Amino acid sequence: TNASQPSSSTTPADDPSWGCHQCRKSCTLCKNFLVEATTFTSSRTSQTFKIRSHIDCNTKNVIYLILDLKCTEIFYIGYTTDCMAVRWRNHKSHIKKSIRSCELANHFVS
């Protein structure tokens, strides 16, 4: 058994390693943007969902949510096979270079 994997009887409510966590290196993504949480709530349905694995900036194959704090009704849901840090750098680069590669970039590129 892999020690980093929770046992099959473990639930998100009793496993503190599950959820979204900042890395130990305090990278730019974690320090400035990543919100630590064990759940998230839909602004549309008010339904709350448990995060059922350990996620940080080095995690691959992640479905992620980005909120625009200025336009509180606007959010972007994406998926990456790269780690989150790589995907975040790509988003930032596309916005800075005005590359309209996705709805997130379209929102921030004027």
Residue 68 has pLDDT above 80, yes or no: no
Over the Cα atoms of the chain, what is R_g? 15
Asked if residue 22 lies in contact with residue 56, where contact means CB atoms within 8 angstroms, the answer is yes
Q: Cα–Cα distance between 26 and 53 in angstroms, integer?
A: 20
Asked if residue 54 lies in contact with residue 17, where contact means CB atoms within 8 angstroms, the answer is yes
**Torsion sign (Cα): 101, 70, 22, 9:** negative
pLDDT in tens, 6-39: 445 555 456 878 999 999 887 888 988 888 999 9
The model's confidence at residue 72, banded by pLDDT at 50, 70 and 90, is: low
Whether this prediction's pTM lies above 0.85 is answered by no
Sheet strands (E) in the chain: 19-20, 39-41, 48-50, 54-55, 60-67, 75-83
φ, ψ for residue 14 (rounded to 5)?
-115, 10
Asked if residue 13 lies in contact with residue 39, where contact means CB atoms within 8 angstroms, the answer is no
Alpha helices in the chain (DSSP H): 28-32, 84-96, 103-108
